[in-house]
């Protein structure tokens, strides 16, 4: 994450601190004491607002079965983005070890000084091929890919049209660019069309959407979006973090699922979810765009190269996927098993067929109490509530992985039924 993002993009508590210290040092307080008091009061606001995010400590590898500090025994994990179970796949781990041995722990350099290895070029080629796009550029994360793209592509004469529920990193990336901004209502093609009409005078226009939205598991209406974009002469960008590797007949993503691979121009995605889960992100798209990103994209120019073991793991994950879609199919089958058993038991699951399977509960306290009770039954799930999701739409977001067995799925459903009955959610 570039420092500039923090400074330009957000009003951080640190900025308040700077002001506070200026006035209080003159009154004899130490600067750090003033900062502490500002920070403590900010923390208290979060605690009393009920939006504090705790972190459970996992003491095993990521997987369908994990060990969690403070809970005894084996815990079933239903909240990782490890959709294909590749993050501890033996071949992926071996490839990481091999790359560590042959290419070292890291480059101590950015790409353009002395940080580009054959491994990086090879993974970029593979990713471009996987997405059937001209070229690819790697970043340290998809957050960085989103932070670096828009200001390179779009200037003050251009316009960006963005779904209101796009991922935070897209919102921040758009903040950094000087294009005119239009925000259309979530997946609302009518509103998108209105914004396309409003922005007719722009030089370049880019429609920006998540392929899959992570809180509901809902899929963007890409056919309609591409049709409108074509009609009004706009480009289309999708963020495929929750789709790459498993949506579509060959796991290429939302654009493949909806038959518009040739109509979506730019794709950003992550290596940190289905593709091995280590870290890293990338952009695929037209060659001149990728070349310009290598020249100008700040998170790329001013941040270290991806570590060789991370690159090795991702490359192997991609090879496994390209050789067979058996893993993705097994994940789909388990998703359907979970969704239909839960519906049968009387729960409401949002979305339709995505492995993100949000169990809708409405009340924030209920979601958090139920998640705690699920953990007591050995199932790790997380409640999401406002401001992450709209008020009154609290939920437990379950994520299915190919690494789950049918017994794991059934045990999770059983635990939901037991806790759901206790809390009066199902009878
Ligand atoms: C997870 C996620 C990101 C960030 O990806 P990282 O590689 O973890 O930085 C960006 N966009 C979307 C939609 C995501 O879900």
What's the pTM? Answer: 0.91
CA of 169 to the centre of ligand 1 (A): 7
Q: Where are the domains of the chain?
A: 65-79+326-422, 90-323
Which DSSP state fits 58? B
Question: Backbone dihedral region of 380: left (phi > 0), alpha (psi from -120 to 50 degrees) or beta?
Answer: beta
Residue 280 Cα: closest atom of ligand 1: 7
CA of 240 to the centre of ligand 1 (A): 9
273 is catalytic: yes
Q: Does the Cβ of 166 fall within 6 Å of ligand 1?
A: no
CA of 148 to the centre of ligand 1 (A): 13
pLDDT of residue 223: 98
pLDDT of residue 28: 60
Residue 270 Cα: closest atom of ligand 1: 7
d(CA 230, CA 173): 24
| Residue 29 main-chain phi, psi, to 5 deg | -75, 155
Question: Could you say which of 214, 305, 330, 385 is catalytic?
Answer: 214
- Sheet-wide strand order for 159-163: 135-139, 281-285, 266-270, 235-239, 205-210, 159-163, 180-184
Residue written as tokens 């991806």?
306
pLDDT of residue 54: 86
Ligand 1 atom 2: residue of nearest CA: 241
Q: Does the Cβ of 64 fall within 6 Å of ligand 1?
A: no
pLDDT of residue 52: 83
Residue 122, number of CB atoms within 10 A of its CB:
13
Q: Are strands 356-362 and 379-380 parallel, antiparallel or unpaired?
A: unpaired
Of 5, 62, 169, best ligand 1 pocket probe by most atoms within 8 Å of the beta carbon: 169
Q: Does the Cβ of 143 fall within 6 Å of ligand 1?
A: yes
Half-sphere exposure of 48 (CA within 13 A, CB side): 6
Q: Report the CATH number of the 65-79+326-422 domain.
A: 3.90.1150.10
Question: pLDDT in tens for each of the 427 residues of the chain?
Answer: 444 444 444 444 455 444 544 554 555 679 999 999 999 999 999 888 877 888 999 999 999 999 998 877 899 999 999 999 999 999 999 999 999 999 999 999 999 999 999 999 999 999 999 999 999 999 999 999 999 999 999 999 999 999 999 999 999 999 999 999 999 999 999 999 999 999 999 999 999 999 999 999 999 999 999 999 999 999 999 999 999 999 999 999 999 999 999 999 999 999 999 999 999 999 999 999 999 999 999 999 999 999 999 999 999 999 999 999 899 999 999 999 999 999 999 999 998 899 999 999 999 999 999 999 999 999 999 999 888 888 899 999 999 999 999 999 999 999 999 999 999 999 9
d(CA 416, CA 408): 12
d(CA 88, CA 207): 36
108 is catalytic: no
CATH class of 90-323: alpha beta
pLDDT of residue 72: 76
Which DSSP state fits 202? -
């Amino acid at each position: 994450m570039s420092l500039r993002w923090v400074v330009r993009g957000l009003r951080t508590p640190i900025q308040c601190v700077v002001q506070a210290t200026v006035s209080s040092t003159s009154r004899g307080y130490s600067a750090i004491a003033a900062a502490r008091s500002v920070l403590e009061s900010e923390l208290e606001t979060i605690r009393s607002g009920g939006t504090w995010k705790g972190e459970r400590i996992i003491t095993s590898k990521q997987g369908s079965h994990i060990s969690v500090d403070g809970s005894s025994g084996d815990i079933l994990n239903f909240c990782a983005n490890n959709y294909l179970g590749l993050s501890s796949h033996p071949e992926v781990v071996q490839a990481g070890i091999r790359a560590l041995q042959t290419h070292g722990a890291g480059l101590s350099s950015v790409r353009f000084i002395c940080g580009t290895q054959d491994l990086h070029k090879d993974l970029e080629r593979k990713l471009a091929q996987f997405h059937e796009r001209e070229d690819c550029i790697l970043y340290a994360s998809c957050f960085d890919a989103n932070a670096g793209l828009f200001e390179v592509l779009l200037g003050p004469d251009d316009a960006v049209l963005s779904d209101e529920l796009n991922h935070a990193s897209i919102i921040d990336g758009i903040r950094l660019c000087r294009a005119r901004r239009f925000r259309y209502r979530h997946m609302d093609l009518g509103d998108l069309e209105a914004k396309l009409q409003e922005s007719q005078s722009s030089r370049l226009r880019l429609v920006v959407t998540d392929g899959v939205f992570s809180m509901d598991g809902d899929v963007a209406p890409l056919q309609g979006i591409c049709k409108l974009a074509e009609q009004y002469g706009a480009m289309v960008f999708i963020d495929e973090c929750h789709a790459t590797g498993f949506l579509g007949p060959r796991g290429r993503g939302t654009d493949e699922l909806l038959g518009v691979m040739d109509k979506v121009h730019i794709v950003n995605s992550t290596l940190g979810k289905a593709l091995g889960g280590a870290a890293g992100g990338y952009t695929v798209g037209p060659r001149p765009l990728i070349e310009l990103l290598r020249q100008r994209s700040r998170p790329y120019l001013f941040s270290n190269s991806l570590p060789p073991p991370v690159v090795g793991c991702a490359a192997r994950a991609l090879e496994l996927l390209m050789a067979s879609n058996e893993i993705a199919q097994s994940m789909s089958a388990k998703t359907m098993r979970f969704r239909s058993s839960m519906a049968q038991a009387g729960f409401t699951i949002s979305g339709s067929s995505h492995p993100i399977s949000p169990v809708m509960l409405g009340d924030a306290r209920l979601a958090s109490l139920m998640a705690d009770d699920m953990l007591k039954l050995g199932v790790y799930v997380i409640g999401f509530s406002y401001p992450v999701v709209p008020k009154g739409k609290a939920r437990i977001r379950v994520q299915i992985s190919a690494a789950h067995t049918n017994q794991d799925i059934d045990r999770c459903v059983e635990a939901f039924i037991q806790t759901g009955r206790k809390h009066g959610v199902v009878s």
